[in-house]
Structure formats: C-alpha cells, structure tokens
Amino acid sequence: MMQRFLVRKNERALLLRDGDFVAVLHPGHYLKASVKRDYTIVTYPLTEALFEHPLAEYLRQHEPATVAQHFVLFDLGDNEAGLRFENDALVEIVPPGSRRMYWQDAVPQRFERIDLAAGWTVPEQLLARIAQPALRGKAIAGLNAVLNVQVPAGQVGVLRIDGQRVALLQPGRYAYWRFNRDIAVDLIDTRLQAIEITGQEILTRDKVSLRVNLAANWLFDDVELALSRLPKPMEHVYRELQFGLRAAVGTRTLDELLENKQVIDDVVSQHAASRLDGFGVRVVSLGVKDIVLPGEMKALLAQVVEAEKAAQANVIRRREETGATRSLLNTAKVMEDNPTALRLKELETLERLAERIDKISVVGGLDQLLNGLVKLKV
C-alpha cells in the first residue's frame, strides 16, 4: 500500500523516520510506503516564519548544512534583545537568551540587535512603530516586553528602575525595555488638588464634642523634593491638616468658635504652612465647611439664642415706647403755648376721622363742623 503526500509551494516539511530526522522536503508530491518503519511528514506553512520543533537543537548540532540551506539563525545573549522585521515592518520583539530558527523561504526578513546594557530607553525611531499597536495591520509579538508610557499635560512621570527613582518625565510619550529590570512609571498630578477632612469628632476646651468638616486645596511646589522626603505626599498633607484642625478646636471654647469661625481657618493655615515647609508641597487655601453640634447642645443653643433675641426685642420695644412718649410730651408743650398749633392738631384729627367715614350729615353749617365736631379742651 502506498500513501500520497503533498507539500504545497507555500509550505515546507520535515520527513521523520521513527521520530528521527531524515530530510527537509520541498514542494511536491511524495509517496509513503507501508513498511515496517514509520515515516512521518510534518508540514509548516511559510506564513509562520518561526520554526519550532523538538529536533531544532539537534539540527543545529548535527545537520549544519541543512540548517544553513533552509533556516536563518538568530541567537541572542543575556544582555541583548532582538527585533525581527518582515517586509521592513516590525513583527516581533525577541527576548534575551533566545535561540531562534526561521525559514529562509518565508517572507523577506531582517534582524536587529539591541544592547540592553547601553540603556533602558527604546530608541525614538522604534517608539513611533510601537506607539499605536492596535492600529497596525499586523500585531507585534512580544510587545509586552516594552513599557509604553504617555504623560499627560499637567502631570509628571516618576521613572523607577528596580525600585530606585531615576528621573522625572515631562509630558510626552516614552517607552522602556522591561528586560533584565523591574521598571515602572508613576504619574503625579502637579495641578491644584482638592482634599476633604470630614467627620472629625473634636472636643473643645469646655468639653463640647463637635463634628468639623474642612476643605482644602494643595499642590506640589517641588515634585522631586516631595517624593524624596514623603512616601505618600497626599496622606502627609491630610494628616497635617487634621492635626491643625484639632489644635484649633481643642484649645478654644464653644463660644469662642461660634463668635469667630475664621479663627479655625487662620490657625489651620498657619499650622499647615509651618509643618509642610521644606517638603515640596503647599496648601493654597482652606476653609471650614460646617460645624455640627450634638443634638442636646443644639437645642440648648437654640434656647439661648431665642432668649437673647427676645431680650433684644424687649429693649427695642421699650426704647420705641419711650421715644413715642417723649414725642407726645413735646407736642403737648407746643400746643399749650401756641393756640394755632392746637387748632392745626384739631383739623388733623378731623381729617383722619373724615377718611374713615363713608357718608356724613352736617347740622349747623360749616362753623358747627369746624368748631363743634372736634373740640380739644386745654
């Protein structure tokens, strides 16, 4: 019995006998006879240039002529990375220490070596090729070996290699090799940032519990100094504002705080300015959002305010009554010494009465109206 095999023009094949290498087969028709030995043909499409087989290392050592005829070797040292191009387009990033074999008859290929000991930065011309991999026609194998970073405007990037801070990155695009090192970039926002100190339960000097909420705006004055002295700058700013708030409230009575709420802002601002000096961060502005009293204290305070307002209203009422009485007394003295003023007062009273009467019948003529209707006795 004979079995026919076909190797197409876009394929290459390995002929194996009992699992051992025999030859590389070019395109064509082949017959396999049913004999005691087991012949196997393994085909490889040339669209995949990489040759991977358990016999690859055997071919390198014992079939150098076959390897030179059909394959391209690309071996890298421990401090080297490789770039493989197909038709001048980057298709693969090869890691250090790799030993690769590629079919010569695949698409046109070229290879480049990268010296990792020379630096960790990806060359600028290569950065343009890997900036937007999702928009490429063909994916780049091994792209996860490159740390691609974009620093937006208003931020800086902190480059760390093996846990050590190396450089500050200004807004822009950067790329770094991950091979042989632990590399990371932290983004730091240098714009004005808001922070909330909420729900702070603080006792005043007269032992009244208050809940105070504070809002503040802060920013970096010197990012490098702040990161060198503070592991977490924002948490440090939060703690100092919290300490300043407790110092402002805990050293004053409730009456002092209610009479001058601005004192809290002033004390906390001074505290933050003195404690954050030299750390590369600065509080730009702050203010107390609200002060919440306990329920019982709120009721007592409402009663105090109500009593104060009632007393003030009583004082005002008495003052107005005294003023009105004094005015009446002055008017009476004027009328006592001046009959004309007395007569004018009579006419004024008559005018007011007439305004309230819809219809009036007069008996005795105008003289009776003027002299008899209204008569003030002195």
Question: Domain 193-293 - what CATH class?
Answer: alpha beta
The strand pair at 183-189 and 109-115 is best described as: unpaired
Tokens encoding 121: 């930065």
Helical ranges in the chain per DSSP H: 56-62, 64-70, 124-130, 223-229, 233-250, 254-259, 262-276, 295-337, 339-356, 365-371
- 202 contacts 245 by C-beta, under 8 angstroms: yes
User: Mutual orientation of helices 233-250 and 262-276 as an angle, nearest 10°?
Assistant: 140
Q: Give how far Cα 376 sits from Cα of 74, 258, 273, 348, Å.
A: 130, 57, 78, 12
> How buried is residue 363: exposed, middle or buried, by Cβ count under 10 Å (0-12/13-18/19+)?
exposed
Helix, strand or coil for residue 343? helix
Instruction: Identify the pLDDT of residue 376.
Output: 47
Domain spans of the chain, in order of start: 1-43, 46-118, 119-191, 193-293, 338-378
Query: Per-block average pLDDT, block size 10, for the chain (378 residues)?
Result: 79 88 89 68 91 92 93 94 92 93 92 91 86 79 91 93 90 92 92 91 86 93 91 93 92 84 90 93 92 69 71 83 80 73 71 69 60 52
Q: Which residues of 229-266 are buried (b: 16+ CB within 10 A; e: fewer)?
A: ebeebeebbbebbeebbbbbbeebebeebeeeeeebbe
